[in-house]
Amino acid sequence: MAFALTSSSSSTAISGSNFPRSTSSSDLKVPQIGSVRLAERHATVNLSRRRCAVKAVNADPKRNDSIVPLAATVAAPEVLEKEEAEDFQQLAKELDNASPLEIMDKALEKFGDDIAIAFSGAEDVALIEYAKLTGRPFRVFSLDTGRLNPETYRFFTEVEKHYGIRIEYMFPDAVEVQALVRSKGLFSFYEDGHQECCRVRKVRPLRRALKGLRAWITGQRKDQSPGTRSEVPVVQVDPVFEGLDGGIGSLVKWNPVANVDGKDIWNFLQAMNVPVNGLHSQGYVSIGCEPCTRPVLPGQHEREGRWWWEDAKAKECGLHKGNLKEDTAAQVNGIGNGAANANGTATESDIFNSQSLVTLSRTGIENLARLENRKEPWIVVLYAPWCRFCQAMEESYVELAEKLAGSGIKVAKFRADGEQKEYAKRELQLGSFPTILFFPKHSSKPIKYASEKRDVDSLMAFINALR
């Protein structure tokens, strides 16, 4: 089928075969990205005033195997006029306690062939398993940035064979990638941040893909990144990207596992004998591009394996920026959650609270740094209470303080966000939160803890080597 956009002066048709369906027909062909042809039949629909609802096409397994770039793709299932927009905010409340399987079934039922699962090649393979369990046809797409790990590419093939599907790969614009690399090199993100590269290799290809859909399904979970995803609903009108009909509100975003803990996702994958990315067995949890992803260590949050050279609050690539809280930009600049106080810090509840810990003020840390002959050595954490990585090490650091109580070593904390951040970066070697410093007994210069192992034993080994 085809879909024609008409105007008073001309009539243009763009062929719009959809993504390959999940039916495992043996004659499925790999989509030919970039083919465009004139449609032989035309259907004229006025989209100027009314929203469109799509009749499910689950009973029609026949597909056209060609595909055009999704920026120009216009699907053509049977179109029905719908007078009133769906209240997805109310639906999110109704489904908040529903199982991922129930949410997935509802999503596929509502949007038929105009919805697709976004698959990153990580534990979000659970989404494909849930879709399969509904018994409904489904579609899967993925963003091939050109810089994924070899294990991820092999995993894509394994998933296709396991489920009898064809994943539709979206690629970045070759001209944009060429311009970026020629002007800034292959690894510019280590110097000036990952956002530009992600915008070229991920965000723009995603935008093109979503223009051919009315809804998409993601693997976002609230516990993946509490600072940026803690309020993710199970379904929402996408606040950032546009869908097939164009304009704000034209795309619906489903997050079936939003309320599921990561450990429960893994229990599900093991119980259902679902194939997983080989990188997981090497310590990787959150998986992205090869240069920007590494295994996480004990005591680290899963997102700490992504863009590790940047501050905690920068660990989003832009695909889900609509779920960022309004204060996230301020947090990246060194101000925590909540309204800022007059001194530039925030109202977020403090952490590292223990009678065994010394809380240092700006004057206190300055005096400590100036001393050349201290009565005892100090270990100090530079932190921000909103930082999830600081929160992740709170238990081990408090335990360290209690273990060292009365030992002649002082354990302290200094809040280094807000207006203190520039001083901490200039004088205290602050790179990102948390930063741990050891002030020796007979030396004015502090020694920075270089490892990211923040368990008690690792911190004790560091202290014992210097005390």
118: β partners: 141
Tally of CB atoms within 10 A around 35: 12
Identify the active-site residue in 198, 292, 317, 387: 387
Tally of CB atoms within 10 A around 172: 22
51: β partners: 82
Phi and psi at residue 11, in whole multiples of 5°?
-135, 120
Please confirm, yes or no, whether 52 is among the known catalytic residues.
no
14: β partners: 3
DSSP state of 393: T
Please confirm, yes or no, whether 198 is among the known catalytic residues.
no
Helix/strand/coil percentages in the chain, nearest 5: 35, 15, 50
Tally of CB atoms within 10 A around 246: 11
Cβ partners under 8 Å of residue 411, min gap 6: 356, 357, 358, 378, 379, 380, 397, 400, 401, 404
Phi and psi at residue 82, in whole multiples of 5°?
-130, 120
Q: Dig out the tokens for 425 from the structure.
A: 């970066």
Contact by Cβ (8 Å): 216, 108: no
Place of tokens 């039922």: 109
Identify the active-site residue in 197, 198, 317, 390: 390
Active-site annotation, residues: 387, 390
